[in-house]
Amino acid sequence: MGEKIVEWALFVSALSSIFIVFFILAFLLKEGFPALTLGWREFFFGMTWHPSHDQFGIFPIVVSTFVVGIGALVLAAAVGIPAAIYLAEFSPDWLRNLVKPSVEMLVGFPSVVLGLFGLTVLVVFVRDAFGGWGECVLAGWVILAIMTLPHVVSISEDSIRAVPNGYKEASLALGATQLQTVRKVILPNARSGILASLVLGMGNAVGETMAVLMVVGNPNIPWIPHSALEPVRVLTSTIVIEISYAVWGSMHQHALFALGVVLFAVVAVLNAVTTAVIRRGKGGWGRD
C-alpha cells in the first residue's frame, strides 16, 4: 500500500518536467502571438525594428544573431578541434588530467563575469587596435568563442577517444604516419561527435545572453552588420534590454515574447539536429 503511494508520488514528480515545458511553450506563445497580428511577413522579414513606431521587423536581429553565432563557432572550432585531437591522441596523461577539467569548468563560468572581462579588456583592445566603437561583432565572436570552446573540446575529445584502437593500429601497420592516421582514420570516425559538438555549441552561442549583451554594443535600431567592427543587436540582448521598459500588455511586450519564441525555436532545432547527428553516428560504422 505504502509502496504504491510512493511509486505514484515519484511518477507525478517525474511528470513535472513535461508540465514545465508545456507551460513555458503555452505562455510564450500566448504572449507572443498578438505580435503576429501585425502580419507575419512584416514580423519575420521586416527590416525595421522600431518599437515606438510600432514597427517590429525581426529580420536584422535574426541575421545578426547568426552572424555572431557562426563566427564564434568558427573561432571555437579552430582552437577546440585541434585541442581535442591533441588531448585525445598525443597529450601525456598528466597534461590531459589538468587541461580537460579546467576547460570543462569553463562550461558553467558565470557569463556576466566573462562579459565584464570582455567589456574592460576585449572591447578596449578592439577599439585601440582596429578603431570603431570597440563594442562590435568581433568582440562578440571572441567572447562567445570562449563560452563555446569547452563544449567543442569536451565532446569532440570524447568522440575522438571513442574511436577503437584497432582502427589506429591497422592504419599504422599499413605504414601511415600518426598524422595521416588522425586525418584519414580517426577524424572521419569521430566526425559525428565533432559535428554534434559544433551544433550544440551553436545552440549555446545563440542562447547565450549576458556576455554577448555586454560586448556587442546594441545600437538603438538593429541592423545587419557590414563589417566585423560594427555594433549589432542579437535576439537575447534585445529581449533583456527592452523587456525592462516595454509597457506590460503593449505590442512591444508581445513582440519581445515573440522574439523569445523565435529564440526557443532556433535553439530547439539546433538541439534536435545534435541528437539526430549523434544517433546517426552511433548506427553506421565503416563509412569512409
Partner 1 sequence: MSVCVRVREEVVKLGLCAAALVSVAVLLVLVGYIFFNGAGAINPAFLLESPYRFEHGGIFPQVVGTFFLVAVCLLFAVPLGLATAIYLAEYAADNLVTRSVRFFVECLAGIPSVVIGLFGLVFLVYFLGFGVSLLSGGLALGFMILPWTVRASEEAIKTVPYSYREASLALGVSKWQTIRGVVLRNAAPGIITGVLLGMGKAVGETAVVLLTAGSGLESFLPRSLSDPVGSLPVYIFMLATQGHTSAASSRAFGASLVLIAMFLLSSLFALLLRNRFVRRKRRKIW
| Minimum CB distance to partner 1, residue 89 (Å) | 8
Tell me how far, at minimum, the Cβ of 226 lies from partner 1, in Å: 26
Beta-carbon count within 10 A of 196 CB = 23
Cβ closer to partner 1: 63 or 119? 119
Nearer to partner 1, 41 or 105 (CB): 105
Measured in residues, the chain has a length of: 288
Nearest to 81 by CA among 154, 142, 27, 137: 154
Nearer to partner 1 (CB atom), residue 123 or residue 195: 123
Closest separation in Å from C-beta 58 to partner 1: 15
Strand, coil or helix: 175: coil
Spatial CA neighbour of 202 closest among 275, 160, 144, 277: 144
From CA 239, how far away is CA 45, in angstroms rounded?
A: 18
- The minimum distance between CB 220 and partner 1, in angstroms, equals 15
Percent of the chain that is helix, strand, coil (3-state, to 5): 80, 0, 20
Q: Which is nearer to partner 1, 221 or 265 (CB)?
A: 265
CB of 82 to partner 1, least distance (A): 4
Closest approach, Cβ 238 to partner 1, in A, equals: 10
Residue 218's nearest CA partner among 96, 49, 80 is 49
* Closer of 146 and 232 to partner 1 (Cβ): 146
Closer CB to partner 1, 16 or 286, in the complex: 16
The CB-of-250 to partner 1 minimum distance in angstroms stands at 14
Give the CA count within 13 Å in the CB-facing half-sphere of 195. 17
Residue entry with cell 549555446? 204
| Residue carrying the nine cell digits 567589456 | 119
Contact 228, 142 (CB under 8 A): no
Q: How far apart are CA 2 and CA 9, in angstroms?
A: 11
State which residue, 41 or 98, has the beta carbon closest to partner 1: 98
